[in-house]
Amino acid sequence: MNENNWKPKWNKEQIKTLLVEQFQSFLKCPNGIEREKLADLKSYFSSPQVVIITGLRRVGKSTLLAQFAHTMDEGLFYYLNFDDERFLGFASEDFNDLLQVMIEVFGERNLMFLDEIQNVPGWERFVRRMSDAGMKFYVTGSNASLLSQELGTRLTGRYIPVELYPFSFREYLKFKGIEGLEENILTTRENARLQRLLTTYLMDGGIPEPLKYPDIPLRQTLYEDILYRDIASRHHIEDVRSLKELVFYLMSNVAHTISYNKLKEQLHLGSVNTIKSYIDYLETSWLMFAINLYDYSVKRQQIAPKKIYAIDTGLSSAVSFSSSPNTGWLMENVVFLELKRRVSEVYYYMTPSRKEVDFYAPSRHLLIQVSTNLENPQTYERETSALFEAMETLKNTSGIILTDGGSSEVEQADRTIQIRNLGRWLLGG
């Protein structure tokens, strides 16, 4: 038996009990609101590839898996949850023995759900072997390194990534039981209601459990779990104080540009490599994102300042410092998250005259500015001039400004800027 000695801790009857308890608990998992990613899981069912669902802790990966399972007969699949403490010490070599017990308990099945798989080192070897033998896998994990280059090498051409984010604004409204605001034409009262709900969404974010239990400080608990369990413990960080200072600073400055050198000097956090490693850890734990400046030169992209965004505005608001809610930065963060749901790559852009455009999605030639409102003439001039210059440089014919106001258009030569209400844009309208 393997060195970690998992199996000797349990006799066969105890393992059978574990499997049955997990399976029954999974079947009873509440469906919640239907997640938009459920359609993707269904569409990938007939393909032979391993479907890997990744995302932040408590973002709803297991619920999404249960929603998918509830669309089929329970006699078709196996289910294993490796976040169960009874699997402590389990390693990839134990899979064969476990599979034999599963066959004894449930019979032979060709579909397997593996929940929180990042807790099993080397799991992908078993999955690849069994996938080659004809078994279909749906796998969840809370670590973005599941989609790393190393995994890509071991499962080359054999997996499909599904990234699950906190509730979108559309899902948030469903969670609140609100319907009809996605219509193209709304009354004045409905528009006002939409704006109030958007303001609440900016502050609350979209992580399901804190929304369900607003009187319990679940965001702070989640934040500490990620900080200590997913980052400090996993990466053997002894100077946790420095890590906390960096994360607190970044969470308090979402939608701002950052420089590794300036962060090192400002926070006195060792070397630039330390800063870079810490931010990489934040990204692999799904806590934060750092996006690049768009440039045709990859080298200039790498050395330019990054822009930082949080996985959830509610989480950011709960653990950061702000003397008052900064609606503009929260709006920009929400737009970033929505773009991550819609496109593969997101950058910020700097025009030749050093005017910044908040977002550029090259796959759709999409340029976006975010502004709370455009009533101030200076703000209007700053946002529109940056977009028009970017459009000219990148040969785009259109751009978008997202605000909390109404819709209109601005034209210059053969180029058009659409001014859109953020709430309506988030709903896809």
Specify the amino acid at residue 321. F
Which CATH number belongs to the domain containing residue 323 in this structure? Answer: 1.10.10
Contacts 24+ apart (CB under 8 A), 377-384: 382/355, 384/410, 384/417
Q: What is the DSSP letter of 1?
A: -
Taking only the tens of pLDDT, the chain with its 429 residues reads 345 678 788 899 999 999 999 999 999 998 899 999 999 999 999 999 999 999 999 999 999 999 999 999 999 999 999 999 999 999 999 999 999 999 999 999 999 999 999 889 889 999 999 999 999 999 998 876 666 555 656 787 889 999 999 999 999 999 999 988 877 778 888 889 999 999 999 999 999 999 999 999 999 999 999 999 889 998 999 999 999 999 999 999 999 999 999 999 999 888 899 999 999 999 999 999 999 999 999 999 999 999 999 999 999 999 997 766 689 999 999 999 999 999 989 999 999 999 999 999 999 999 999 999 899 999 999 999 999 999 999 999 999 999 998 889 999 999 999 999 999 999 985
The residue range of the domain holding 362 is 343-429
Residue that is last in its domain, among 296, 327, 358: 327
Q: What is the DSSP letter of 304?
A: S
How do residues 196-215 score in pLDDT, each as one tens digit? 999 999 999 999 999 999 99
Q: Which pLDDT belongs to residue 4?
A: 60
- Judge whether 47 lies within some domain: yes
Q: Which pLDDT belongs to residue 1?
A: 39
How do residues 181-193 score in pLDDT, each as one tens digit? 877 778 888 889 9
Q: Which pLDDT belongs to residue 151?
A: 60
Specify the amino acid at residue 345. E
Which run of H or of E encompasses 249?
Answer: helix 240-251
Q: Which pLDDT belongs to residue 142?
A: 82
Do residue 97 and residue 196 come from a single domain? no
Residue for token pair 């400090």: 232
CA distance 265 to 271: 9
CA distance 294 to 301: 6
Which residues, including other chains, have CB under 8 Å from residue 194's CB and lie 6 or more apart? 181, 186, 423, 424
Do residue 200 and residue 152 come from a single domain? no
- CA nearest 117: which of 152, 89, 153, 80? 80
Do residue 198 and residue 109 come from a single domain? no
The CA–CA distances, whole Å, from 414 to 125, 328, 388, 391, 396 equal: 55, 30, 10, 10, 10
- Judge whether 2 lies within some domain: no
Q: Which pLDDT belongs to residue 148?
A: 57
Do residue 176 and residue 141 come from a single domain? no
Do residue 172 and residue 233 come from a single domain? yes
Q: Which pLDDT belongs to residue 420?
A: 95
Residue 34 has phi, psi (to 5 degrees) of -70, 125
- Model-level pTM? 0.93
- Number of domains present in the structure of the chain: 3
Do residue 121 and residue 236 come from a single domain? no
How do residues 315-340 score in pLDDT, each as one tens digit? 999 999 776 668 999 999 999 999 99
Residue 213 has phi, psi (to 5 degrees) of -125, 70
Do residue 155 and residue 171 come from a single domain? no
DSSP codes, 5-31: --GGGS-HHHHHHHHHHHHHHHHTS--
Do residue 301 and residue 241 come from a single domain? yes
Do residue 244 and residue 313 come from a single domain? yes
CA distance 76 to 243: 45
Do residue 183 and residue 298 come from a single domain? yes
How do residues 32-42 score in pLDDT, each as one tens digit? 999 999 999 99
The token pair at 427 is 């709903």
Residue that is last in its domain, among 327, 361, 381: 327
